[in-house]
Amino acid sequence: MPEPIKMKKNLKDQRDTILKLLAEKAVMKQNVFANTISVFEQIRDSSRTVVSELANDIKGVDARVTLAFKEFNQHSFQLKVAGDMLQFDMHTNVFEFEKSHPVYKSSYVKKNDLNSFCGIISIYNFLSDSFKYNRVNDIGFLIARIFVNREKKFFIETKTPLNSKYSNYSDDPISADNITEIINELIIFSISFDLFIPPYDVVKNVSVSEIQEKASSAVLKTGKRLGYIGHGSGEGNDSSIEDDVNL
């Protein structure tokens, strides 16, 4: 085959490959992103409603117990529930799992690899005082990740009881009832996940600078499984509900 003809064939093959990738993978990722945005907006709106209703109900019990909703942008919002803060964040990219991930064992993904691609919504649990007093060194915990795919089906990685029900891709697209149940369960888990007093030996040493800066909360850090520790003491003893599972 003459060289110019061969070159043209190669260029045509490359162009066809690019168009195929754009038509399949790029379009799929756009669908995943659109679905993740839609689910995140549903979670945001349902969270606002749940918190508003709980705030009205608890008002007559004890006015000191406060609940609030705060939106930062299209991809981030917070729920304050008494002493807890739940931070919801949506990543703007689309991800694929490592081939060793259990998701590839499901018949749903085996049927079509494109079903494995997903958007991610992460939920973290902080102490509300960490934000109130600007304690920038305080620790939050990832308590759940919600994965949404091109068909708006979902599953959850979490240490909460939701894991037993939603650890595999759902048979149906996510619904309003699913979302309300998830929000309620995350709130229950966060309220039940208590602040522990740290071991005495972990906090027995503190520097002058840490004490001097304590008023600005810039050095001493607090987390539900830390209690409170100095920046230079007990670093190797930090414990997390995620020590054994990387969410």
**pLDDT band, residue 76 (cuts 50/70/90):** very high
Q: How far apart are CA 137 and CA 227, in angstroms?
A: 13
Residue 239: pLDDT band by 50, 70, 90 thresholds?
very low
**Does residue 152 carry a pLDDT above 90?**
yes
> Residue 221 has what DSSP assignment?
B
Residue 189: the pLDDT is 94
Nearest partner of 127 among 208, 220, 23, judged by Cα: 220
Measured CA to CA, the distance from residue 202 to residue 102 in angstroms comes to: 38
Question: Both tokens of residue 54?
Answer: 């709980």
Query: Are the beta carbons of 224 and 127 closer than 8 angstroms?
Result: yes
Q: Which strands, in side-by-side order, build the sheet including 141-148?
A: 67-73, 76-81, 84-90, 119-127, 141-148, 154-158
Can you tell me the mean pLDDT for 123-136?
Answer: 90
- Among 22-26, 78-82, 101-105, 226-230, the range of highest mean pLDDT: 78-82
In this prediction the pTM is 0.82
Q: Which is it for strands 67-73 and 76-81: parallel, antiparallel or unpaired?
A: antiparallel
Q: Is the pLDDT of residue 26 over 80?
A: yes
Dihedral angle over CA of 72, 134, 60, 50, nearest 10: 30
What whole-number percentage of the chain has pLDDT above 90? 65
Question: Which parts of the chain are beta strand (E)?
Answer: 67-73, 76-81, 84-90, 119-127, 141-148, 154-158
